[in-house]
Amino acid sequence: MAIKAIIYKANLQIADMDRNLYVDHAVTIARHPSETDERMMIRLLALALNLPTDPNHGTLEFAKDLWETDEPALWHKDLTGQIKHWVEIGQPDDKRLMKASGRSDRVTVLSYSASTPIWWSAIATRITRAANIAVWQVDAAQSQALAELAQRSMQLQLSVQDGTAWVGDGQRSVDITPQRLNPR
């Protein structure tokens, strides 16, 4: 018998001063049996950091990357079904990123492992011709601290200012400062 996804619910109160976005956003997360709390929380962070400021053109939503190899972790499709933003979590290979670059207006990668510098040095020159790919690293200690906030039902506050995100649950908080790996 196959192990089923575990359902998590999160209510996010987002105050993103960098993008002038102030919104409450409720999400349901289907956590794949092989997914860790750390990866799930990085997906949630990616959603909050990349939520479109104008919902009239579609919204960013969780995709089925661990179930369907042709899908990202998150994607923003416009009302016609065109992929506007493709978001990968972890360390995808360069072929996957180049394919995503051709299918979407923008591609964002959030890598959170201590091995990110090794992965990045192996693929950096292979994706330089794709100007629409942005690669970010979340410090491994920060992502592990974020994972400690994971609960089946979450009430999280997320504030962003000057590139630093503060995520809290009312009792604990984590500061996260993603670092851009590739030049703009």
Query: What gap in Å lies between CA 48 and CA 18, rounded to an integer?
Result: 13
Q: How far is CA 157 from CA 23, 122, 170, in A?
A: 10, 36, 8
- Unique residue bearing structure tokens 């990616």: 46
| Predicted local distance difference test score (pLDDT) of residue 2 | 67
| Predicted local distance difference test score (pLDDT) of residue 90 | 96
Look up residue 8 and give its two tokens. Answer: 């998590």
| Single-letter residue type at 122 | A
Residues 93, 72: contact at Cβ < 8 Å? Answer: no
Query: What gap in Å lies between CA 70 and CA 176, rounded to an integer?
Result: 29
H or E segment to which residue 94 belongs: helix 94-103
Please identify every stretch of the chain with a pLDDT value under 50, giving residue numbers as ranges: none
| Predicted local distance difference test score (pLDDT) of residue 1 | 57
> What domains are there in the chain, each with its CATH number?
6-180 (3.10.640.10)
Chain-centroid distance, C-alpha 129:
23
Of 42, 51, 25, whose CA–CA distance to 156 is shortest? 25
| Predicted local distance difference test score (pLDDT) of residue 4 | 85
pTM listed for this prediction = 0.93
User: C-alpha angle 74/113/85, rounded to 5°?
Assistant: 20
| Predicted local distance difference test score (pLDDT) of residue 58 | 84
| Single-letter residue type at 43 | R
Of 46, 71, 6, 82, whose CA–CA distance to 160 is shortest? 46
DSSP letter for each residue of 19-52 = TTEEEEEEEEEEE-TT--HHHHHHHHHHHHHH--
Chain-centroid distance, C-alpha 37:
13
